[in-house]
Amino acid sequence: MFLVPLPFFVAFLIVILLAREYVGRDADGEPFHGSLFTVLIIAYAIQSVLIGLRWGYGILAVLPAMAIMASAIAPLAWLSFRSLCSDRLHPRPRTIALHLTPAVAVAGLVVFWPAPVGLVIVALFVAYGVALLWDARSGPDRLVTSRLDGVLHSYRAMYVTGLALLGSAASDVVIGLDLDWSGGAYAPAIVAAGNVLALVTLGVAATVARDSAPDEAASPESRPTPPPVPNGSETLIAGRVEALMRDTELYKDLDLNLARISRRLGLPSRQVSIAINRSHGISVSQYVNEHRVRHASRLLRGTGDSVTAIMLDSGFMTKSNFNREFLRVMGMTPSAWRRAHPHGPTISAEDLHPAAGNETGAPKGP
């Protein structure tokens, strides 16, 4: 009986997700950031096929390709997410070449000295996994070129990818130990379990990216810990950002990100992020989304436009994020707001944002 190895199903799922995201990216957000993410996902699919050939059919000829592909995946993952942390849309070619050097080195080792290849790959996965988690420590505002409407999803994906790289390193160690101790008696089962875990991880990632349920951070009762009181320059920057949003309605830009706001002000992204956080007690994405929610609430009260049309006009790309942020800010869903405020009073900026430099720096409730 002909059996299809589980890794083949994982590869098929990855291809389906890739095709689905490309078909629906205009409607569902920004799942990829440039060509590096595309290359990374294709590399995942190829590696899964190679694993299926090796452990499903016992084809040893694919081992060199597996080693080289594995040594390229970890740097590609870091480079892909690193592109979200810089004002540059894509890393410099020299940077890409530098981080893909390990793959070239592994290719040389496969030919001339195969013994340490396994250890090199494990070291690469650990190093780049730790590097991703280190970059993620600064929170979503670290991803300055990620669209603000989807920055939390990108941040979660970055964190999960870092953990997945560390998990893959641990899996490789366990397989190596099994090969040494029992001649690989349990290696196929370990590989199968690892691919099932990858399958579950992909499913969870897809679910999180489209999660429509509000989480604790989005709950109207939840409030962040008051940040440090802003200094004078941070208060001025926060005021400039507020004026920019008010005068230009920049928040309606569907592709708005922190880097774009910073360029309009002629300031480094980190300064703008810190100023907003300390002056308003929220992240940049939450701050911009509050402007979007305020705009949406006016349209919901004063027009007969559909909720979807108002969502897009206010700068939101997905209904899940629109509903979550509206609930966080206003304490109810957009539809409930429309029913409760058919001719309600106008919401001013002061209702949602305290004056920069107030005593606590924390945002006012709805």
**CATH code of residue 261:** 1.10.10.60
Gap between the Cα atoms of 116 and 139, Å rounded:
36
What DSSP character marks residue 343? T
161 and 242 together in one domain: no
100 and 41 together in one domain: yes
273 and 336 together in one domain: yes
pTM over 0.85: no
53 and 197 together in one domain: yes
34 and 107 together in one domain: yes
Whether 217 is in a domain gets the answer: no
**What is the per-residue pLDDT for 199?**
47
Whether 355 is in a domain gets the answer: no
Range of the domain at 251: 232-340
Domains: count for the chain: 2
Amino acid at 235: T
**What is the per-residue pLDDT for 262?**
92
Amino acid at 111: V
Whether 359 is in a domain gets the answer: no
Residue with the two structure tokens 């926060």? 238
51 and 164 together in one domain: yes
144 and 276 together in one domain: no
Half-sphere exposure of 224 toward its Cβ, with a 13 Å CA cutoff? Answer: 20
**What is the per-residue pLDDT for 196?**
59
pLDDT in tens, 297-328: 999 988 888 999 999 999 998 888 899 999 99
**What is the per-residue pLDDT for 75?**
93
**What is the per-residue pLDDT for 227?**
55
Whether 354 is in a domain gets the answer: no
Gap between the Cα atoms of 19 and 310, Å rounded:
29
Whether 142 is in a domain gets the answer: yes
**What is the per-residue pLDDT for 165?**
86
Q: Give the CA radius of gyration of the chain.
A: 24
**What is the per-residue pLDDT for 107?**
94
How many angstroms separate the Cα of 151 from the Cα of each of 69, 255, 268, 284? 29, 11, 18, 10
19 and 149 together in one domain: yes
Whether 287 is in a domain gets the answer: yes
186 and 250 together in one domain: no
194 and 310 together in one domain: no
**What is the per-residue pLDDT for 161?**
85
238 and 201 together in one domain: no
250 and 303 together in one domain: yes
Residuewise pLDDT in 10s, the chain (366 residues): 456 677 788 778 777 777 766 665 544 444 444 467 778 888 888 888 888 888 778 888 998 999 999 899 889 889 888 888 876 656 788 888 999 999 999 999 999 999 899 899 999 999 999 999 998 888 888 888 777 877 887 888 888 888 888 888 888 788 777 777 777 677 667 766 665 565 456 444 433 433 333 333 333 333 444 456 667 888 899 999 999 999 999 999 988 989 899 999 999 888 999 999 888 988 899 999 999 999 999 999 888 889 999 999 999 988 888 999 999 999 999 999 888 887 655 444 344 444 444 433 334 443
Residue with the two structure tokens 């945002």? 363
Whether 55 is in a domain gets the answer: yes
Residue with the two structure tokens 């966080």? 328
Whether 219 is in a domain gets the answer: no
CA 4 from centre of chain = 32
Gap between the Cα atoms of 143 and 84, Å rounded:
5
